[in-house]
Structure 1
Amino acid sequence: MNGAWIDGLHRELLRLRTPGPAWGNRSGGASYVEPTALAALALAASTPTTDADASRRAVASAADWLKDLQQVDGSLGISPDLPRPCWTTPLAILVWIATDRHHDSRRKAVDWLLAQQGTTWAPTGESPYGHDPRIAGWSWVEKTHSWLEPTAHAVLALRRAGLPSHARTRDGERLIRDRAIRTGGWNYGNSAVFGTDLQPQPAPTGLALLALSGVEDADGPIVTLGCDYLESILPTTRAPLSLCYGVLALAAWGRRPSNSDEWLAAAHDRAARSSNCIPQLAYLLLAAGTRSLELLGSPPITPESP
């Protein structure tokens, strides 16, 4: 992506901050953890050609704001007014590692994350679900069943925190493999219901592939089919969330499409007109960042020479 486009997105995100160090979902709205963490990671993943110090200061201030929001148990909620649920905690961990700040807060957040797990049960008789409910990943809400996206976020944060071999990290990777759809890709939770495969979706597929990148023995039919699905769907996809994780996942597996910059530019024109443009712009900038895979804990795979 060219420097002028990167510079423009840096300026847009800095302009759209709420009064103070954080971001909301829309200009002038209340501050939330998710858009603040996404914007901070996106700004940290690329360097603008002008006024780079302003972006660095904004990222550091966002990390400080997240630290001030951390609860006694180490978790972070949705916003200052919404202490639960705490699925945003892995995003804060990624920001603190990216900025090399608040080591104690990071440790507490990692300890909290390791202690969390979705509810499990032993299947009896014929289950209507296509996945193994005995595998404990992470859930959106405490004391509920595991879902793909919070599990993938947790795996990325734990790997970035230096715990790629921890039993909980391995549990998360196992759940992600188990939830893969037979024909390729991932849905948000199940792989099949009553014997019928669900339709894959680009955002969870991208997140799953990012979480499996760099994992020993992860390469295989699941990854190949997932990447094939993304390559087929992304050319007509303009949702920033889906493009971000889809493009980065293909990059992580050595298959970033040569025309992905054109998709991001087209998505930007639409996202800039949206009322909740802040997370959308952050996703697009993150997708274009040269350090994004590093900051997300998803090391790129070097494709083999033919």
Structure 2
Amino acid sequence: MASSSLKMISEALLMRRVLPSGGFSVKTEGLFQVDSTAWSILALAACGGAPNQLDQSRRLLMNEQLPDGRLCVDRIHPASYWPTPLVVLAWQDSEPCREAQQRAVRFLLETTGFHFPRTSDVPSAHDTLIKGWPWVGDTHSWVEPTAIGIMALKTTGHGHHDRAKEAVRMVLDRQLPHGGWNYGNTHVFGRELHPMPESTGAALTGLTGLVERDAVRESLTYLQHKVTSLRTPISLGWSLLGLAAWNQSPANAAALVERCLANQERYGEYETSALCLLVLGALASEMGRQVPLISASMYQGRPAALTQ
């Protein structure tokens, strides 16, 4: 599938989910969701279209921001702040959203998961003191939210902040001995766990530009072998993004994406976040590091002063 055709199809699919407010629903004719809107902004930006829609959607997300900078799945559940780094990415290069983006970055720099010293009765093997970010407040840090947090800090020029450096150490500590990542455990009760392609792809996307290839070589090998068997949008989307971030896109990426899109005829339409991940992965395979999620996260420029 040529990138021009993919962009047209992707934009058409996503625009079916846009709401009068400018937000995006989780599925066609569904309700507004912060993460669906952030992912849609990233995908539409990668497609190069709908600038007015992008501006409206970005401004809408500003209304969802809480005073301390966080953005939540639902404002009545402030602990559910895992969409914050996604929105930081969605606000990139938007001058009207700059101050809001800076507040969100400050929140990320000042927030972490629940961490604790290891004791002899802890069944897992990873270093529980290295800080990343959690899915939900006051819970342990895990791979995917930490990887996206790293992307957000790199995007805004904070990739070398001590907070980002510690998050990189956390992700590397959670890498499985034989390559790949899962949600964030390496061994439990002395047994090495299995890797998961979506976690591996997210980790590789976050780490690009911050670690040497040798540090992730076995994980790249795992994902290269795994990607051709993937048929679901989240696993395939993250895998294609992770491989593209290291210039390792599979030659048959377009065919893999077409097969995955066709599965909707049997199983129903994908949720917006999953569809956007697939679109971004497909475009990354064709365009390399030019897609926003990768190109922006490679940025290592001077960080802007953060809003108090």
Q: Normalization by structure 2: what TM-score?
A: 0.89
Equivalent position amino acid for 1:20 in 2: S
Deviations 1:155-176 (A, max 9, x none): 1101111001101000110000
Deviations 1:67-114 (A, max 9, x none): 111111111111455444101000110011143441110111001111
Per the TM alignment, residue 281 of structure 1 is displaced from its structure 2 partner at its CA by 2.1
How many residue pairs match? The answer is 292
Report whether the alignment pairs 1:199 with 2:194: yes
Aligned to 2:262: 269
2:155–2:298 Cα contact (<8 Å) kept: no
Equivalent residues in 2 for 1:112-127 (5 A)?
112-125=107-120, 127=122
Secondary structure in 2 matching 1:85: coil
Segment drifting more, 255-264 vs 92-101: 92-101
Please point out which of 251, 257, 262 is paired with 2:250: 257
Taking a change above 3 Å as real, the CA distance of residues 100 and 255 of structure 1, as seen in their structure-2 partners, is: farther
Report whether the alignment pairs 1:177 with 2:172: yes
1:187–1:199 Cα contact (<8 Å) kept: yes
Report whether the alignment pairs 1:227 with 2:237: no
1:140–1:147 Cα contact (<8 Å) kept: yes
Equivalent position amino acid for 2:260 in 1: A
Taking a change above 3 Å as real, the CA distance of residues 26 and 215 of structure 1, as seen in their structure-2 partners, is: same
Equivalent position amino acid for 2:158 in 1: L
Aligned to 2:303: none
Equivalent position amino acid for 1:299 in 2: M
Deviations 1:209-264 (A, max 9, x none): 11110114x321x4111111111111110111111111111111121111111111
Q: Determine the C-alpha separation between the residues in 1 that align with 2:31 and 2:146.
A: 27
Aligned to 2:16: 15
Runs (4+) off by over 3 Å: 79-84, 98-101, 293-300
Equivalent residues in 2 for 1:1-306 (5 A)?
1-2=1-2, 3-47=4-48, 52=49, 55-79=50-74, 82-125=77-120, 127-216=122-211, 218-220=212-214, 222-271=215-264, 274-289=268-283, 290=287, 291-292=290-291, 297-299=296-298
Secondary structure in 1 matching 2:157: coil
2:42–2:293 Cα contact (<8 Å) kept: no
Taking a change above 3 Å as real, the CA distance of residues 10 and 231 of structure 1, as seen in their structure-2 partners, is: same
Secondary structure in 2 matching 1:17: coil
* Percent identity over paired residues: 32
Per the TM alignment, residue 58 of structure 1 is displaced from its structure 2 partner at its CA by 1.6
Taking a change above 3 Å as real, the CA distance of residues 98 and 205 of structure 1, as seen in their structure-2 partners, is: farther
1:206–1:245 Cα contact (<8 Å) kept: yes
Equivalent position amino acid for 2:62 in 1: K
Per the TM alignment, residue 285 of structure 1 is displaced from its structure 2 partner at its CA by 1.5
Taking a change above 3 Å as real, the CA distance of residues 77 and 296 of structure 1, as seen in their structure-2 partners, is: farther
Q: Determine the C-alpha separation between the residues in 1 that align with 2:75 and 2:229.
A: 37
Equivalent position amino acid for 2:57 in 1: A
Structure 1 residue ranges without an equivalent (≥5) = 301-306
Q: Determine the C-alpha separation between the residues in 2 that align with 1:202 and 1:80.
A: 31
1:271–1:281 Cα contact (<8 Å) kept: no
Per the TM alignment, residue 44 of structure 1 is displaced from its structure 2 partner at its CA by 0.2
Equivalent position amino acid for 1:70 in 2: Q
Q: Determine the C-alpha separation between the residues in 1 that align with 2:94 and 2:282.
A: 19
Taking a change above 3 Å as real, the CA distance of residues 293 and 191 of structure 1, as seen in their structure-2 partners, is: farther
Structure 2 residue ranges without an equivalent (≥5) = 300-308
Deviations 1:250-280 (A, max 9, x none): 1111211111111111111124652443223
Equivalent position amino acid for 2:37 in 1: T
Secondary structure in 2 matching 1:13: helix
1:86–1:140 Cα contact (<8 Å) kept: yes
Equivalent position amino acid for 1:242 in 2: S
Q: Normalization by structure 1: what TM-score?
A: 0.90
Aligned-residue Cα RMSD (Å) equals 1.9
2:133–2:149 Cα contact (<8 Å) kept: yes
Taking a change above 3 Å as real, the CA distance of residues 294 and 100 of structure 1, as seen in their structure-2 partners, is: farther
Per the TM alignment, residue 126 of structure 1 is displaced from its structure 2 partner at its CA by 5.8
Q: Determine the C-alpha separation between the residues in 2 that align with 1:24 and 1:81.
A: 18
Q: Determine the C-alpha separation between the residues in 2 that align with 1:296 and 1:232.
A: 25
Secondary structure in 2 matching 1:12: helix
